[in-house]
């Protein structure tokens, strides 16, 4: 025997072993199937004894359900996403679903990767990348895979979405800075098309004005990266008015921004300028950064995603909707100081 071909246990084997028909054995694995409870138990017991699991390929050929969720990632320089990716994967796997990845180096490679992935007919797709072109959603849906946008809205507002109230988050940051006596605010903007960026900015700026402060200045950093934040920090000196309180589009931008401000123009944080981030990634809590930030309620967001995934994998017609969770708490650490005393 030249090839030691791997011989998996099949329904047939199990059926013979149990003295039942394959139909009966098969039914044991479907909760809704009509089968005597005693029979089901016997089958399941024996199955786990001999290590039988239905072949998912054969299953999905018939059921048209694959238990596969496609995950689209690209911009992983933001530590927020690796964290989400692995935790979400773990959660989904607990529900018996498996995660397939689509990833590409160049932004244009992602389309091809998604196509390849669609070949496996995932029950749904989850998009973690911030820069996915919107036509990708249509391609997925045409292939029978609804898509969930995690932590962002699709450009056209369609599709499924899991998002936080980023407008409210922006407002909170403005209120917090206003309460502590800050006067001249700044928003450091990242990827201009990202809904998170747009909403945070909007909430922050509007609330600042509502509190009677001048309309916040804005620096366009352009990307959700450390480097973009750093450059923004350096460019602070070009601003007509020197701000005393800043909200950055997210943590990684804030961390870069602080560094740029400190090294580039020698301002001290928080003595000279207060900075708030957004996300509360693990790095924000590091002693190097001690970043005050608005947390994302990650657990809730992921639980909601997992639940929606289960729904999409089960039911045929689920109405498209976007879940808007409330933002997590503002986590006070070391990058915001009170300006109260100096006011008086």
Partner DNA sequence: CTGAAAGCGCTTACAG
Q: Is 126 in the site for its own copies (CB under 8 A)?
A: no
- With contacts defined by CB under 8 A, name the span among 13-21, 210-218, 280-288, 331-339 that binds its own copies: 280-288
What gap in Å lies between CA 44 and CA 54, rounded to an integer? Answer: 11
Closest CA to 153 of 208, 197, 113: 197
**Residue in 15, 22, 44, 104 binding its own copies, rule: CB under 8 A:** 104
66 binds DNA (CB under 7 A): no
Q: Of 253, 234, 235, 146, nearest to 196 (Cα)? A: 253
Q: Which does 71 bind (CB under 5 to 8 A by kind): its own copies, DNA, none?
A: its own copies
| Residue 54 is a binding residue for DNA (CB under 7 A) | yes
Rounded distance between C-alpha atoms, residue 190 and residue 232, angstroms:
10
Q: Does 33 bind DNA (CB under 7 A)?
A: yes
**Minimum CB distance to DNA, residue 25 (Å):** 7
Nearer to DNA, 51 or 212 (CB): 51
CB 88 within 8 A of CB 305: yes
Please check whether residue 247 is in contact with residue 174, taking contact to mean a CB–CB distance below 8 angstroms.
yes
66 counts as binding its own copies under rule CB under 8 A:
yes
Asked, as a colleague might, if the bond just before 270 is cis with ω within 30 of 0, I would say yes
Q: How far apart are the first and last CA of the chain?
A: 91
Q: Does 171 bind DNA (CB under 7 A)?
A: no
- Give the one residue of 55, 95, 314, 338 binding DNA; rule: CB under 7 A: 55
Residue 112 in contact with its own copies, rule: CB under 8 A: yes
Nearer to DNA, 34 or 271 (CB): 34
Distance CA 241, CA 287 (A): 30
Span interacting with its own copies, options 14-22, 29-37, 108-116, 188-196, rule CB under 8 A: 108-116
Cα–Cα distance, 108 to 114 (Å, whole number):
11
Q: Are strands 292-295 and 330-331 parallel, antiparallel or unpaired?
A: antiparallel
Beta strand ranges found along 85-145 (DSSP E): 98-103, 124-127
Q: Could you give the CA distance from residue 142 to residue 336 in angstroms, rounded to a whole number?
A: 48
Q: According to the binding rule CB under 8 A, does residue 63 interact with its own copies?
A: no
Distance between CA atoms of 215 and 208, rounded to whole angstroms?
7
8 binds DNA (CB under 7 A): yes
Choose which of 176, 230, 257, 278 interacts with its own copies (CB under 8 A): 230
Binding range to DNA, per CB under 7 A, among 14-22, 160-168, 206-214, 316-324: 14-22
List 31, 105, 108, 315, residue binding its own copies (CB under 8 A): 105
Residue 14 C-alpha from the chain's centroid = 41
Backbone torsion region of residue 115, taken as left when φ is above 0, otherwise alpha when ψ lies between -120 and 50, otherwise beta = alpha
21 contact, one of DNA, its own copies, none, CB 5-8 Å limit per kind = DNA
By DSSP bridging, strand 147-150 and strand 160-164 are: parallel
Q: Which residues bind DNA (CB under 7 A)?
A: 8-12, 20-24, 26-27, 29-30, 33-37, 39, 52, 54-55, 58-59, 61-63
Q: Which residues bind its own copies (CB under 8 A)?
A: 3, 5-6, 8, 53, 55-58, 60-61, 64, 66, 68, 71, 73-74, 76-77, 79, 81-83, 85-87, 89-90, 93-94, 96, 98-105, 109, 112-113, 116-117, 119-121, 143-144, 226, 230, 255-256, 259-260, 263, 282-283, 286-288, 316
């Amino acid at each position: 025997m030249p090839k030691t071909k791997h011989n998996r246990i099949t329904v047939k084997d199990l059926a013979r072993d149990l003295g039942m028909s394959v139909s009966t054995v098969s039914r044991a694995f479907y909760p809704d199937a009509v089968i005597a409870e005693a029979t089901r138990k016997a089958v399941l017991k024996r199955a786990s004894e001999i290590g039988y699991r239905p072949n998912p390929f054969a299953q999905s050929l018939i059921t048209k359900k694959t238990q596969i969720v496609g995950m689209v990632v690209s911009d992983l320089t933001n530590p927020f996403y690796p964290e989400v990716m692995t935790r979400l994967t773990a959660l989904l796997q607990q529900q018996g679903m498996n995660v397939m990845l689509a990833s590409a180096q160049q932004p244009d490679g992602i389309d091809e990767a998604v196509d390849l992935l669609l070949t496996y007919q995932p029950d749904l797709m989850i998009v973690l990348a911030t820069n996915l072109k919107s036509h990708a959603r249509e391609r997925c849906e045409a292939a029978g895979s609804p898509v969930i946008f995690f932590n962002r809205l699709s450009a056209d507002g369609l599709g499924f979405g899991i998002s936080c109230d980023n407008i409210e988050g922006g407002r909170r940051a403005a209120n917090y800075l206003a309460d502590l006596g800050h006067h001249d605010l700044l928003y450091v903007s990242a990827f201009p098309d990202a809904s998170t960026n747009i909403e945070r900015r909007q909430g922050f700026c509007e609330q600042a004005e509502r509190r009677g402060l001048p309309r916040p200045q804005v620096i366009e950093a352009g990307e959700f990266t450390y480097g973009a934040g750093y450059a923004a920090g350096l460019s602070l000196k070009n601003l007509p008015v020197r701000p005393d309180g800043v909200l950055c589009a997210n943590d990684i931008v804030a961390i870069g921004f602080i560094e740029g401000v400190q090294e580039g123009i020698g301002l001290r944080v928080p003595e000279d300028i207060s900075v708030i981030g957004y996300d509360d990634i693990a790095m924000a809590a590091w002693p190097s950064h001690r970043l005050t930030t608005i947390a994302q309620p990650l657990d809730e967001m992921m639980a909601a995603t997992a639940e929606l995934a289960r729904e999409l994998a089960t039911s045929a017609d689920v109405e498209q909707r976007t879940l808007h969770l409330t933002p997590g708490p503002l986590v006070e650490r070391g990058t915001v100081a009170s300006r109260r005393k100096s006011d008086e």
